[in-house]
Structure 1
Amino acid sequence: MLLHKGCYRARLAAGPADVAAAQALRTLCFRTGAADCDAYDAACMHVLVEEARTGSLVCCFRLLLLESGAELGRSYSAQFYDLEGLRAFRGRMAELGRFCIHPDQHSADILRVAWGAVTALVDAKDVQMLFGCSSFAGTSAAEYLDTFAMLKHRHLAPPCWLPGVKAPDVFRFAAGLRPRPDPKLAMLRMPPLLRTYLVMGGWVSDHAVVDARMNTLHVFTGLEIAAIPAARKRRLRAAAG
């Protein structure tokens, strides 16, 4: 058990049945039709967030540990982004992927418990950078223009870490974005996972990848653990305690 807070608990998958349950939830959330499973599943730790009383699965994600940026070629994200700049990162890294919450579940405590579990694993494994693909539902950029404009103006990666374009179908933030995005609309359309990354000091790529198989747009997202504000770290560790 990673943690138990209020109505929810988080734990690592104990075997193939747990991984299959996570894959089933991913299939439901991402609406992939065919079962959402891939070769990366075997290399990852899978975390399940469950309703404590019933054991119902309400959220899941997976983590892939890398010893340094030199191992980024093993990551899921490396299929879609040129991560050459990040290969110089010397600390341990973890790729957070396939994060999803059951569409019928709306409690904010689920996200809090999930981040508490992430924090517990980051601390236990001495992770220095968390990264992954933050997904937007659908493959049309039109409804996310305010969000993408805000990301471009406020949250781009440092030049030394900025991912390059690799995927064949991308939406570049330099093209067609509003010079003055509507902040309320931008936040409304921003996925909760990405919003949490950003309040902790995270950053994103300068383009979104159009992923037709997963029916999403996604942006590369990075978070250097050392850059998280001290007050935020205390809250995260309190949630993980």
Structure 2
Amino acid sequence: MTQIAVTCDTRTDRRLQAERLMGPQALREAQMLRFSVFSGEFNAKLKGAEFGLDMDDYDSHCRHIGVRDLASGELVATTRLLDHQAARGLGRFYSEEEFSLHGLGHLQGPILEIGRTCVAPAYRNGGTIAVLWGELAEVLNEGGYSYLMGCASIPMQDGGIQAHAIMQRLRERYLCNQHLRAEPKNPLPVLDLPGNVIAEMPPLLKAYMRLGAKICGEPCWDEDFQVADVFILLKRDDLCPRYARHFKAAV
């Protein structure tokens, strides 16, 4: 477990600690944070909503990590990790519910899938993500994983304008089908969008691109979450040198 103090703004220093979320109480904290973010911001249809939780059948097969504010004791960020062995027992990765992953079986080396990543609104800054990424790096290094994959979401409440505008940028710089091709099972509705429309990339998607991840195809429309999910793949050998210090064994 890694502890790190970070300055989030000019008024306060927050001491944030990365944490492996072990046991039912810690998992429940993660599910509560996920519910708060996904239900409150996306009006998502969530299993467990009647209990104020976001929960599904994958949770018990995943490892969960998070970031805690040591001053308040509050869990402020979380993500879950499903490796190839657990996915084999389940019969699928979570991403395969949304995408047909052509070439998945030919990837050389262990695979780790990341998902359900969320950060409390007041903590959405580079410092919180850096702490979470640091713990993710430890898991990657311990398991010797060759690939990190998963989905990053773009809100669809505007009818898809933001998603289509972002995809125009992603196709130009980050599209790569060399290792894997992700075919969406529910493609986005067609939208005739001028080429000069500019949209802000969501922080998590931007963070993946900065790490060196690529997108492997067109997005999938997740109607329950009201988001466009973009499938991303990060090969450790392609990790951006600027961020490689977090992933020591990858370089």
- TM-score when normalising by structure 2: 0.82
1:3-152 residue pairs with structure 2 within 5 A? 3-6=2-5, 7-31=15-39, 32=44, 34=49, 35-67=53-85, 73-138=91-156, 140-152=159-171
Residue 210 of structure 1: aligned partner: 221
Residue 161 of structure 1: aligned partner: 180
**What is the rounded CA distance, in whole Å, between the counterparts of 1:15 and 1:70 in structure 2?**
23
Compute the displacement of 1:209 (Å): 1.2
Residue pair 1:148, 1:177 contacting (<8 A) in 2 also: no
**What is the rounded CA distance, in whole Å, between the counterparts of 1:211 and 1:231 in structure 2?**
32
**What is the rounded CA distance, in whole Å, between the counterparts of 1:178 and 1:154 in structure 2?**
19
Residues 39-95 of structure 1 show CA distances to partners (whole Å, capped at 9, x for unaligned) of 000100011210022211110000011159978952100111111212211211110
Unaligned runs of 5+ residues in structure 2 are 6-14
Compute the displacement of 1:157 (Å): 2.2
**What is the rounded CA distance, in whole Å, between the counterparts of 1:10 and 1:211 in structure 2?**
29
1:193 partnered with 2:204: yes
Runs of 4+, deviation exceeding 3 Å: 67-73, 175-179
RMSD between aligned residues:
2.4
Residue pair 1:69, 1:88 contacting (<8 A) in 2 also: no
Between Structure 1 and Structure 2, how many residues are aligned? Answer: 228
> How many percent identity over aligned positions?
27
Residue pair 1:69, 1:91 contacting (<8 A) in 2 also: no
**What is the rounded CA distance, in whole Å, between the counterparts of 1:163 and 1:172 in structure 2?**
17
Unaligned runs of 5+ residues in structure 1 are none
Seen in structure 2, the aligned counterparts of structure 1 residues 79 and 147 have a Cα distance that, compared at 3 Å, is: same
**What is the rounded CA distance, in whole Å, between the counterparts of 2:182 and 2:128 in structure 1?**
30
Seen in structure 2, the aligned counterparts of structure 1 residues 160 and 115 have a Cα distance that, compared at 3 Å, is: closer
Seen in structure 2, the aligned counterparts of structure 1 residues 222 and 211 have a Cα distance that, compared at 3 Å, is: same
Seen in structure 2, the aligned counterparts of structure 1 residues 38 and 132 have a Cα distance that, compared at 3 Å, is: same
SS of the residue corresponding to residue 217 of structure 1 reads strand
